[in-house]
Structure 1
């Protein structure tokens, strides 16, 4: 059904849109207008951001060709301002460096999430196949009923997704087995399934104790990494009470409670802990190599962070990442 605006020309649409805007919306748009890279650099200068290490021309080129302002500028919130509201000791090069570090970290986190997803699905499948009380089909329907899921949706609600899943859809959509469900379910669905399965199973139950408790937190950082959202920001506020296992992991890692009670840190620690517990030795060894390279990159520009407590670990002589049992991150253990 067509809306009223579908029959209006561009000018009339603009008039209609502005007539229904609130004053708050209009004020916000006026305060944050669209800007060219050159205009953004001028605005940054007014806020106290310097261009001593990276020149304005270099910064403009970076914003035009390699990134965009919002992706880089978000890291400024972890730098202090003076009494006049201008940033202290902040060069654009610092923001650019953090954007690169965060990008590399997100890739590591996403790969870890994929490793963990595969390992947990493999474990679930092997346990269910060996369980004589399960036929492989009833559990799927019980799971769908529990969460009021439409199983047809996992085969693709859109034509584009169905294009890739058509062979599976044609054969299995009328009667979905658990091994097909594992192939199609999202990470979020797997998170729900692990909680459901832990309550349901009577064999090897304790093997699913920690995934059932912690996977929902690992899912948060997985989604952030998959959607390319910044991770290494707001590392001190937004406190929660972590799971007792994560408190143990944090304490063993030498991370202060002030840090591991942060939601982001909690989510990341959950992912590292589960990855260490459920992924193969070969996968973990590969991760160790990635972390060692990442650790070197974190310290490449250590002088940038000499006055910033949020990123103080980047300037330390010890490696930000240390591998132990359980695997953990030192990059987050700021004083």
Structure 2
């Protein structure tokens, strides 16, 4: 069992691992770790750097890694999480609008019937209803729950269930009425996972260069989506669509492109492009010697700029 280390001990530990304090002094690092971030989270970004190999005099130490680089990656990651959360919320809202609009135009539905059928078939143990009831103690859902529980119309239920349950409900409706609310259902699990990760402030950029598991392959729909971007060669497409981080970001962009209305997504792509061309590269000199990070950045910039330039 590892013992908890003081801030001074953590700095000593990092120095032993080859991490330098040139861009950020030890004193500034101590203050940052004490008040702005904690070691476990900050150190996660070290996985984007290689270690000296066997036989080298610095075997096991990180190559070219400064504390300032870890700090900068953690800050960029924080801003990226805010961007992704907003995008996931936009997607969730768009799906809710599409579902309710579809139900409202169905002459065989009153909005209550589909909920009754769904809960009867998919929630025999009352897990969904119990989760909804647990929200009754909160100020924002209390009135809705008091008024409708347990006989919810669909336009109320969607405000009370999780994103995962919303996807499940839409899939149930699509199957029953042969509709296509979920145009690309197979990608929405990735959106759900991203949403959950950013909601819990999990690191996204800690393993940016990690390859996909051998058992997984990039979906042909997404590779074709990238294939249509002329500035991205086949070799770059193959390389970065086989990395988990960039593949998940492309999945998010693809789903966003298909669900969110034109005006809203145009503004989002412009905001993302501004983020990539300004905040992300504020300390670009930190990463000049890390070809893996620079290559990934160039790939994502090409994808995002392509979207933001669309009419």
Report the TM-score, using the length of structure 2 for normalisation: 0.86
2:112 aligned partner: 137
CA distance in 2 between partners of 1:280 and 1:315 (Å): 27
Q: Is 1:67 aligned to 2:49, yes or no?
A: no
Q: Determine which of 232, 254, 257 is the counterpart of 2:205.
A: 232
Deviation of 1:229 after TM superposition, in Å, equals 0.6
Greater Cα offset, 170-179 or 144-153: 144-153
Q: Is the 8 A contact 1:49 1:87 kept in 2?
A: yes
Mean Cα displacement is larger for which, 310-319 or 261-270? 310-319
* Greater relative contact order (Cα < 8 A, sep 6+): 2
Structure 1 pair 129/317, CA: closer, same or farther in 2 (3 Å)?
A: closer
Rg: which structure is higher? 1
The aligned counterpart of 2:56 is: none
The one of 21, 27, 30 aligned to 1:57: 27
How is 1:81-96 mapped onto 2 (pairs within 5 angstroms)? 81-83=51-53, 84-96=59-71
- CA displacement at 1:53 relative to structure 2: 1.3
Partner of 1:190: 166
Which segment is superposed worse, 289-298 or 114-123? 289-298
Evaluate the alpha carbon distance shift between residue 250 and residue 238 of structure 1 in structure 2; reply closer, same or farther with a 3 A threshold: same
1:242 equivalent to 2:218? Answer: yes
Q: Say which of 72, 80, 84 aligns to 1:105.
A: 80
State the match for 1:209 in structure 2: 183
8 Å contact from structure 1 (residues 75, 95) kept in 2 = yes
CA pair 207-315 structure 1, distance change in 2 beyond 3 A: closer
Shift of residue 292 of structure 1? 2.7
Flag the 1:152–1:288 CA change in 2: closer, same or farther, 3 A.
same
Kindly report structure 1 stretches of 4+ aligned residues shifted beyond 6 Å: none
Greater Cα offset, 98-107 or 311-320: 311-320
* 1:71 to partner: Cα distance: 1.8
SS in 2 for 1:218: helix
1:209 is displaced (CA, Å) by: 2.4
Partner of 1:18: none
Query: Contact (CA 8 Å) 2:52, 2:62: kept in 1 or not?
Result: yes
Which residue, out of 281, 305, 324, partners 2:306?
A: 324
Inter-partner Cα distance in structure 1 for 2:160 and 2:280: 36
- 1:312 and 2:294 matched: yes
* Structure 2 residue runs without a partner (length 5+): 54-58
| C-alpha spacing 1:316/1:158, structure 2 compared with 1 (3 Å) | closer
Deviations 1:116-162 (A, max 9, x none): 1111100110011101122212211222234336242242326644x
Corresponding residue of 1:285? 266
User: How many residues are matched?
Assistant: 294
Structure 1, unaligned runs of 5 or more: 1-28, 329-335
| 1:259 and 2:240 are equivalent in the alignment | yes
Structure 2 residue matching 1:70: 3-state secondary structure: helix
Q: RMSD of the TM alignment (CA)?
A: 2.5
Q: 1:208 to 1:326 in 2, by over 3 A?
A: farther
State which drifts further: 70-79 or 268-277. 268-277
**2-side partners of 1:258 and 1:147: how far apart?**
40
CA contact (8 A) 2:269 2:308 kept: no
Contact 1:314 1:320 in 2 (8 A): no
Query: Following the alignment from structure 1 to structure 2, what is the Cα–Cα distance between the partners of residues 54 and 67?
Result: 14
Q: Which moved more, 1:278-287 or 1:62-71?
A: 278-287
Q: Distance in 2 between matches of 1:40 and 1:104?
A: 26
